[in-house]
Chains A and B, each alone.
Chain A
Amino acid sequence: MLGPSLCDDPYILISPHTTGLLAVVFHEHVSVAIALGLVALGLFAGWLGAVVGIGGGVVIVPALVLGFGFDTKVAVASSLVAVVATSAAAGSAYAGAGQLNMRLALVLEIATTVGGLAGGLVAVLVAGSFLDGVFAVVMLVTAYLVFRGRDEHGEVADAPGDELGPASGAVAPAPGDRSPQVAPGLAATTNAVSGTEGDLLLASLGDRVGWEERGHLGGAYQDQARGVLITYRAVRLWIGWAVSFLAGLLSGLLGVGGGFLKVPAMNLGMKVPIKVAAATSNFMIGVTAVASLFVYFARGYVLPFVAAPVALGIAIGAYAGARSAQRFSGRTLGRILAAILVFVAVQMGLKAVGINA
């Protein structure tokens, strides 16, 4: 597939089997064709990430390895660059909406960045085929999660948090009522006077409704769709730390964001509302990816000509995807994606054991 190894020759040839086909179409402008192909890959991965809710890495790495014929570590480094771009774009959008909890993000980042650093160090030492094998397993797990239709945008697993609604709207027994241990004091207050209190808060806060709570891993945000204020406090920090370390390790090893692990850990394990979990995870994956990207970048696995078009494509694709997300059925797309992931996982698995299918 890929010609010389990185150690032998700093000049990396584009895969012959890719250029063979493209050269027929584009004649001498093979670089242009490859760049366009990489931008298209980024666009697709970014769009898919926004619509289906999985990060781009799980699409980008196998496409670069199997489709374009790049070395796995080059693919992982390129994917990390793309993950950072997506995280910066999405993180800034969520921060604007007041759903990002920076205290929660950085407390969990202690475990994730250590995991990311460890993953990056292990990845540059082990053989590429080992990474292919691990990637195949992670793709199968992702396929299962996507097939089940886990909804990162929000409705299915949304649970904890106390709702403080507008006085006019009768707030149904809030999901927070099921978990008064999240914030005992607040829950009691909410149960008694939810409508008026929420109204007072919303009115006095104006546009800036999201906030973090001093002294606790908690806060509040406004659910725009329902017009209610939701307060929350995180519990069971150890679950967040354990899963975050694992997510960081996988991020460094494989160039994936790890949001598919962190969001459920925060939501189901730590009782953080899904919107805060998704926003916080989106910011976190950028910081985590940087920890391992520094290792890849310092050791020469970043090929700007590969990383740049993918990063550009994913930034535009994620933006377009976020705008068009309502028009596509995430569930149907998710099932198609799950089937593709299983197929590609098998290919990666075969490559790991030395069979090029």
Chain B
Amino acid sequence: MPDATSSDPRAGAEAPSGGDAPAEAARALLAKRADPRTNTIVKRVLRSGLALALVLLVVGLVVQLASGHDGANQVRMLDIASAHPIGEELMGFGVLALALTPTCGVLSVLLSWVRERDRVYVGVGILIVIVLSTAVVVGLAGA
């Protein structure tokens, strides 16, 4: 088996035609490739969400400690804005931002698949969004 049929692999991969079996096989593989930007988009969404959440958690914690409050209050998802003291409110929003980070990751993937018109996976993404929404509704219903 020859190790390489071309001295410049890139030229081989980009050649429009020819009986080069490896190049054909490579092109066949690439033809089935989904949009590789999806991973990049997910990376950015996760990083941004995490950064926002961590900033809120750090600031909230520092404020809370500086205010000299002892003990820890529970903060419900719908009552974050009315949480006291302000440090716990900020940390509550930090937890919310964290919870929304993977959710936004799923939504960004879903949008990416909509763009690709990959119908089966658009359906899969919508199913996940429905389950997550159910979790919010069911959680709130019993609260």
Q: Which residue of A lies closest to B68 (CB)?
A: A31
- A315 near B50: Cβ-Cβ < 8 Å: yes
B70: A residues at CB distance < 8 A: 14, 30-31
**A305 on interface, CB distance cutoff 8 Å:** yes
What 0/1 pattern do residues 20 to 34 of B give for CB contact below 8 A with A?
A: 011101101110111
- B140 near A298: Cβ-Cβ < 8 Å: yes
**A121 on interface, CB distance cutoff 8 Å:** yes
Q: Which residues in window 98-126 of B have CB below 8 A to A?
A: 98-99, 101-103, 105-106, 109, 116, 118, 121, 124-125
B135: A residues at CB distance < 8 A: 113, 116-117, 120, 290-292, 294-295
Known: A167-B4, A286-B102, A287-B106. A197 touches B75 (CB 8 A): no
**A341 on interface, CB distance cutoff 8 Å:** no
Q: Roughly how many angstroms separate A255 CA and B5 CA in the complex, as a whole number?
A: 55
Q: Which residue of B lies closest to A186 (CB)?
A: B29
Q: Roughly how many angstroms separate A208 CA and B131 CA in the complex, as a whole number?
A: 32
Q: How large is the interface on A (under 10, 10 to 19, 20 to 34, 35 or more residues)?
A: 35 or more
Q: Count of B residues near A, CB < 8 Å?
A: 85
Decide if the interface of chain B is mainly helix, strand, loop or mixed. helix
- A309 near B131: Cβ-Cβ < 8 Å: no
Identify B49's interface contact among A88, A216, A283, CB under 8 A: A88
**A107 on interface, CB distance cutoff 8 Å:** yes
Identify B131's interface contact among A103, A291, A302, CB under 8 A: A291
Known: A210-B39, A292-B135. A110 touches B98 (CB 8 A): no
B77: A residues at CB distance < 8 A: 294, 297-298, 302
- B4 near A199: Cβ-Cβ < 8 Å: yes
Among B29, B30, B47: residue with most chain A CB under 10 A: B29
Among A12, A87, A214, A308: residue with most chain B CB under 10 A: A308
Identify B74's interface contact among A12, A91, A212, CB under 8 A: A12
B124: A residues at CB distance < 8 A: 103, 106-107, 110
- B134 near A168: Cβ-Cβ < 8 Å: no
A211: B residues at CB distance < 8 A: 33-34, 36
- A303 near B128: Cβ-Cβ < 8 Å: no
Q: Roughly how many angstroms separate A215 CA and B116 CA in the complex, as a whole number?
A: 12
Known: A81-B95, A110-B128, A290-B103. A196 touches B3 (CB 8 A): yes
Q: Roughly how many angstroms separate A215 CA and B138 CA in the complex, as a whole number?
A: 34
Q: List 15 A-B contacts (CB under 8 A).
A: A12-B73, A95-B43, A103-B34, A109-B106, A116-B135, A195-B1, A196-B9, A200-B12, A204-B9, A287-B106, A290-B99, A301-B74, A302-B74, A304-B72, A312-B61
Q: Which residues of B approach A to under 8 Å, CB–CB?
A: 1-6, 9-10, 12-14, 21-23, 25-26, 28-30, 32-34, 36, 38-40, 42-44, 46-47, 49-50, 53-54, 57-58, 60-61, 64-65, 68-78, 83, 87-88, 91-92, 94-96, 98-99, 101-103, 105-106, 109, 116, 118, 121, 124-125, 127-128, 131-132, 134-136, 138-140, 142-143
